[in-house]
Amino acid sequence: MKPAVFQYRKAETTREALEALGTNPGAKVLAGGQSLVPLMNFRLSRPDVLVDINGIEELTLVEKLDQTLAIGALVRHSTLSQHPLIEREVPVLAEAARHIGHWAIRNRGTIGGSAVHADPAAELPAALVALRASVVVGAPRGERTMPADEFFLGYYTTALAQDELVMRFEIPLPARRMGFSEVVRRPGDFALVGAYVEDSDAEAAVTWFGLGAMPERQVVEAWPKGQDERQALLERLAREVQSDDEYKYAMAVNVAERAYLAAQKEG
């Protein structure tokens, strides 16, 4: 299939991108194109104007600012998976990025595109919720910042307005002790179910993906040290998330247990 006719605009700055989005109600941002272009080819998405943000340098930055790690919306999955600052400050994010699709996908796909696409089985939206990141969004009206768990609203749905541009994500540091695990049918597939488990001084929590319509983070008082007790708790937590698939609950407990064990290794 071929996409419907569209106009192409290359933005060199965020101001140009916002201007193009603000003056064309049928415009959409083009980042890595790994989700948008297939949808356009199937004509499930028919933007009048594509606003290409790939030339905007400011959106590619990864910076440590005081107690925050700022990651530009255009940072590619492959960069996330091997950036020294991310490896050092938020290793769980680098680990999760290595599980996305194949090399070709990781070389083009971006963290901003993954967040806005909001596939419930995607690794990065859940990572942002698990890490309690903030999403910084630009609009012709000015910038606004919202917590990641308020950004995701449901299946492929976010709080982003049509004329808004995701600029960057801000992750509070120090990152919490966290483990990640997922189950896939074949390497490179989307996860059937995945989990991030936090077991830090600050909090004990689990964030699921692939289980419900969007990433779900649940906080507990503490993780029981005994495996049976812990797995009973994980099962109760998983069942609080509305899933379309009964067998996912059994997988979810195993995945979260592995994520818990991975968190213990983080030291």
Ligand X SMILES: Cc1cc2nc3c(=O)[nH]c(=O)nc-3n(C[C@H](O)[C@H](O)[C@H](O)COP(=O)(O)OP(=O)(O)OC[C@H]3O[C@@H](n4cnc5c(N)ncnc54)[C@H](O)[C@@H]3O)c2cc1C
What residue ranges bind ligand X (CB under 6 A)? 28-36, 38, 53, 73, 100-101, 105, 108-110, 112-114, 116-117, 122-124, 165-166, 190
For ligand X, give the closer residue by CB, 167 or 233.
167
The Cα–Cα gap between 170 and 217 comes to 18
**Residue 105 vs 220, nearer CB to ligand X:** 105
| CB closer to ligand X out of 124 and 204 | 124
**7-10 vs 49-52, strand pairing mode:** parallel
The CB-of-84 to ligand X minimum distance in angstroms stands at 22
What minimum distance in Å lies between the beta carbon of 248 and ligand X? 17
* Residue 145, strand partner residues: 136
Task: Please report how close the Cβ of residue 21 comes to ligand X at its closest, in angstroms.
Answer: 8
Cα-trace Rg, the chain: 18
Q: How far is the CB of 192 from ligand X (least distance, A)?
A: 11
Residue type, 178: M
Q: How far apart are CA 175 and CA 267, in angstroms?
A: 12
The whole-angstrom separation of Cα 233 and Cα 231 is 5
- Cβ atoms of 215 and 129 closer than 8 Å: yes
Q: Cα dist. 52→40, 66, 69 in Å?
A: 15, 31, 25
How many residues are there in the chain? Answer: 267
The token pair at 175 is: 């990152």
Pick between residue 165 and residue 255 the one whose CB is nearest to ligand X. 165
Rounded to an integer, what is the distance from CA 36 to the centroid of its chain?
16
3-class SS of residue 188: coil
Please tell me the distance from the alpha carbon of residue 60 to that of residue 79, in angstroms, as a whole number.
10
Least distance (Å) between residue 139 CB and ligand X: 10
CB nearer ligand X, residue 107 or residue 254: 107
Min separation Cβ 164 and ligand X, Å: 7
Nearer to ligand X, 90 or 124 (CB): 124
- Tell me the closest approach of the beta carbon of residue 144 to ligand X, in angstroms: 13
**Closer by beta carbon to ligand X, 138 or else 233:** 138
